[in-house]
Homo-oligomer: A and B are copies of this chain.
């Protein structure tokens, strides 16, 4: 019968996990193929059996993070749902080095991402048609991608988000009026 794979053996998964933990612990500069080999207790070139080059490895890291983000369920009011979705995104981005954020943002918030799909769905619930929802999502996604670059405190994220959500249009506001107006 098949045995559990030898954990000392390399695999794409083990490489990605080690590389990501290295990235989180020591930053972007430290994530080199040579240092990664060291971390895996293997000679630098061994990783090249699994990834064509460093760029392909970074792509895999991006994919790993995108998969890892836990999307909140579809229950609840659409405003709260959007806030939860974008909160997940901004927390994910904020914890990572800027150089990696620039690679991650399109995969996390671009039109094809799971988070993006869930968010447009929430905007549909709010009464926006597909075209309106896409434009509103562009505003929200770009805001979320840019927020960590300007890097004030995380709490301020909610303020700007509120400002944008106030502008999502009459169709949305008619369904569920904003709290303060």
Contacts and interface: CB of A to CB of B under 8 A. Distances in A.
A67 B41 CA distance: 48
Contacts of A142: 142-144, 146-147, 149-150, 160
Contacts of A168: 163, 166-167
A2 interface: no
A41 to B, nearest CB: 30
**Oligomeric state, in copies:** 2
A105 B160 CA distance: 17
Contacts of A102: 98-99, 101-102, 149
17 contacts: A98-B102, A105-B149, A135-B159, A135-B160, A135-B162, A135-B163, A138-B152, A139-B143, A139-B160, A139-B161, A145-B145, A145-B149, A145-B150, A163-B164, A163-B167, A164-B164, A164-B167
Interface string A65-106: 000000000000000000000000000000000110110011
Contacts of A58: none
Contact of A145 (B135, B139, B146): B146
Interface of A: 98-99, 101-102, 105-106, 109-110, 135-136, 138-139, 141-147, 149-152, 156, 159-170, 181
Given A102-B101, A170-B181, A150 B138 contact: yes
A106 B150 contact: yes
A159 B139 CA distance: 8
Nearest to A145: B146
A9 to B, nearest CB: 33
A156 B110 CA distance: 14
